[in-house]
């Protein structure tokens, strides 16, 4: 029963970049003809709201389900921080819920837990051109495979080997490449100013086959990178290592839950989504210290996310809450199947109050 249940929320969710017409970062409002091309909001959801009411946020947004995305993402984010008690805001577009585009609105209220990121590094160093070209070829292969619905991957070696033949063929070159260029990759990850270069380094570091404790340390360092994409790649790499560690307990590979728990309070939906996937694996054995950390540092965030409208996004939070509450996997699945998320929430929050 468990493998099929777990698989529901380990499947990748596609993000898409906010269209240029939506971003409006430098040019202000989008041109009238561009507004006609803005996607429709299929689902509108929130996170980080503790004292601020959703109705207040909706009134500032000026949009709702069925309407078009805001023409200027930056303008809306600036308006949201004018709400009393709000110190930061972030809009993120996600694809898809039954074909509907999702708009997540994240707020950080004054005094709420804060996920701190590093300042972007400033070095102009770069990877050899052939490494960058190979990685871009791999991304093209992954995109093509995703469009065909081929997304399965094998993580048992501690890194991804995809079912798609072309993507897998390229990935099979990465362990040697990572071993032969490991220190250069680490240097890029820690000091390079270019986001894409750091992302490539983070991905390839995960393929170093012999230094898995060092790989773990470098990827955990990358969890606080300034760029969302780099952080997402680091989480995926650590998920692979967590799978490997569970299958090979004698090798001493340790993945600490600390930064994943902190990421549950991030202003980025992507951070939260990826962190929950990692924590599902790390708490699969019901490690008491990890569950205690979730209870003490992230319970409100998990409760909020467990109520998200998009079920695949809410499911990981429900599972983590159930584990915090001491429910069995069967009990959690039964509550989910009945559509009774509130029962799991009540079990987790009542346990918190009783301590």
Q: 35 pLDDT exceeds 90? A: no
At 262-293, the pLDDT tens digits run 999 999 999 999 999 999 999 999 999 999 99
Higher per-residue confidence, 238 vs 24: 238
Q: How confident is the model at residue 352 (pLDDT cuts 50, 70, 90)?
A: low
The Cα 205–Cα 67 span in angstroms is: 42
The Cα 244–Cα 260 span in angstroms is: 18
Confidence at residue 15, expressed as pLDDT on a 0 to 100 scale: 38
Q: How confident is the model at residue 354 (pLDDT cuts 50, 70, 90)?
A: low
- Mean pLDDT in residue range 241-261: 93
Confidence at residue 200, expressed as pLDDT on a 0 to 100 scale: 98
Residue 321 near residue 348 (C-beta atoms within 8 A): yes
Report the DSSP pairing between strands 161-162 and 153-154. antiparallel
Neighbours of 287 (CB within 10 A): 13
Q: 25 pLDDT exceeds 60? A: no
Confidence at residue 13, expressed as pLDDT on a 0 to 100 scale: 34
Q: 216 pLDDT exceeds 80? A: yes
Confidence at residue 8, expressed as pLDDT on a 0 to 100 scale: 28
Q: 16 pLDDT exceeds 80? A: no
- Mean pLDDT in residue range 220-229: 97
Number of H helices and E strands in the chain, helices first, is 19, 5
Confidence at residue 76, expressed as pLDDT on a 0 to 100 scale: 94
Q: How confident is the model at residue 261 (pLDDT cuts 50, 70, 90)?
A: very high
- First vs last Cα of the chain: how many Å apart? 32
- Mean pLDDT in residue range 3-12: 30
- Mean pLDDT in residue range 316-337: 98
Confidence at residue 97, expressed as pLDDT on a 0 to 100 scale: 84
236: tokens are 């995926």
Neighbours of 65 (CB within 10 A): 14
pLDDT > 90: percent of the chain:
82
pLDDT > 70: percent of the chain:
88
- Mean pLDDT in residue range 179-203: 98
Q: 180 pLDDT exceeds 60? A: yes
At 52-61, the pLDDT tens digits run 999 999 999 9
The Cα 313–Cα 302 span in angstroms is: 11
SS3 103: strand
Q: 31 pLDDT exceeds 60? A: no
- Mean pLDDT in residue range 181-204: 98
Map tokens 């992954």 to a residue.
142
Which region among 18-27, 117-126, 146-155, 185-194 has the lowest average model confidence (pLDDT)?
Answer: 18-27
The Cα 281–Cα 321 span in angstroms is: 14
At 76-134, the pLDDT tens digits run 999 999 999 999 999 999 988 888 899 999 999 999 999 999 999 999 999 999 999 99
Query: Which residues on neighbouring strands pair with residue 94, listed in sequence order?
Result: 15, 102
Which region among 65-74, 188-197, 260-269 has the lowest average model confidence (pLDDT)?
Answer: 65-74
């Amino acid at each position: 029963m468990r493998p099929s249940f777990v698989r529901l929320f380990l499947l990748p969710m596609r993000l898409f970049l906010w269209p240029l017409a939506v971003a409006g970062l430098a040019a202000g409002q989008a041109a009238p003809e561009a507004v006609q091309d803005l996607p429709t909001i299929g689902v509108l959801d929130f996170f980080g709201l503790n004292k601020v009411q959703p109705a207040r946020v909706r009134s500032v947004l000026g949009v709702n389900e069925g309407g078009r995305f805001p023409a200027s993402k930056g303008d809306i984010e600036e308006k949201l921080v004018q709400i009393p008690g709000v110190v930061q805001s972030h809009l993120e577009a996600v694809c898809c819920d039954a074909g509907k585009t999702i708009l997540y609105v994240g707020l950080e209220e004054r005094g709420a837990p804060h996920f701190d990121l590093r300042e972007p590094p400033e070095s102009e160093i770069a990877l050899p051109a052939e490494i960058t070209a190979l990685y871009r070829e791999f991304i093209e292969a992954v995109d093509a495979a995703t469009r065909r619905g081929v997304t399965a991957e094998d993580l048992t070696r501690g890194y991804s080997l995809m079912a798609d033949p072309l993507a897998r063929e390229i990935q099979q070159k990465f362990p040697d490449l990572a071993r032969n260029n490991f220190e250069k990759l680490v240097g890029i990850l820690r000091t390079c100013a270019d986001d894409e270069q750091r992302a490539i380094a983070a991905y390839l570091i995960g393929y170093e086959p012999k230094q898995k404790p060092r790989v773990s340390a470098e990827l955990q360092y990358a969890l606080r990178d300034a760029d969302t994409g780099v952080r997402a790649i680091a989480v995926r790499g650590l998920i692979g290592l967590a799978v490997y560690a569970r299958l090979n307990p004698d090798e001493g590979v340790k993945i600490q839950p600390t930064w994943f728990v902190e990421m549950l309070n991030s202003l980025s939906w992507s951070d939260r989504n990826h962190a929950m996937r990692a924590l599902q694996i790390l708490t699969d054995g019901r490690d008491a210290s990890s569950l205690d950390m979730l209870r003490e540092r992230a319970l409100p965030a998990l409760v909020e996310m467990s109520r998200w409208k998009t079920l695949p996004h809410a499911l990981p939070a429900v599972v983590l809450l159930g584990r915090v509450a001491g429910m069995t996997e069967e009990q959690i699945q039964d509550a989910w199947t009945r559509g009774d998320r509130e029962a799991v929430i009540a079990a987790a929050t009542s346990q918190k109050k009783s301590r």
